[in-house]
Amino acid sequence: MKKRWRTILLVLIALVVLCSFVHPFGNVKAVRSDAALLQGAEVPPAVMSTVQRSCIDCHSEQTKWPWYSHVAPMSWLVESDVSEGRKNWNMSHWNEMTADERQDKLSGIATMVHNRKMPLPQYLFIHRNAKLSDADVDLLYQWARTERKRMKASDTQAASGPSCLRRP
C-alpha cells in the first residue's frame, strides 16, 4: 500500500515537472527587453512609478517571474495573463504604435483604471502592493487623458504645417 502511494506521488511530480516545460501560450518568458517604457510619451515620475508598481508585469517585457510562475499549472495561468496583457498594451513597444493606436490605448487605460478593471484581481490577490489607491487611480486617469490631449494637439499642429504658414 505504502509503495503504491509513493509511485503515485512520483508520477505526479514527474507530471508537474514535464508540464512546466510546456508553454501553451507561447514562450513569453523568452521575450525580454530593457527598452525604456512608454518611449515618446510624456510621463511624470509619479505616473511611471505607479505603472511600474502595478502594470509592468503584464504590460511590458520587463516582467518579474516569481517562482510559482515556473511551475505548472500556475505557469500556464501566469503566462496566459502576460501574453494577453502584452498583446493588449505593451509599454516596451509604445513608440512602435501609430498615433491613432496610442490615443486609443490612452482612452483604454483611462477607462480600465477608472472602472477598477486593472490590475486583474487574481494578480492583486498575490501582489498586494500593486493595488491602486483612489489617488493612484486619479493620477493614472488624469495622465492618460492629458497625454491623449497633448498627442491630439501636436497631431493637428503637425497636420497644419509650421505655425508661420498657418492661417490665423
Contact residues toward ligand HEC (CB under 6 A) are 51, 54-55, 57-59, 81, 84-85, 88-89, 105, 108-109, 112-113, 118-120, 123, 132, 140
End-to-end CA distance of the chain: 92
CB of 85 to ligand HEC, least distance (A): 3
Contact 118, 112 (CB under 8 A): yes
CB of 7 to ligand HEC, least distance (A): 37
CB of 134 to ligand HEC, least distance (A): 13
Three cell numbers written together for 104: 486609443
Q: In whole angstroms, what is the distance from residue 160 CA to residue 61 CA?
A: 36
CB of 91 to ligand HEC, least distance (A): 9
Contact 85, 123 (CB under 8 A): no
Residue nearest to ligand HEC (CB): 108
Nearer to ligand HEC, 51 or 72 (CB): 51
Nearer to ligand HEC, 84 or 96 (CB): 84
Encode 38-70: b = buried (16+ Cβ within 10 Å), e = exposed: beebebeeebbebbebbbbbbbbbebeeeeebe
Nearer to ligand HEC, 115 or 163 (CB): 115
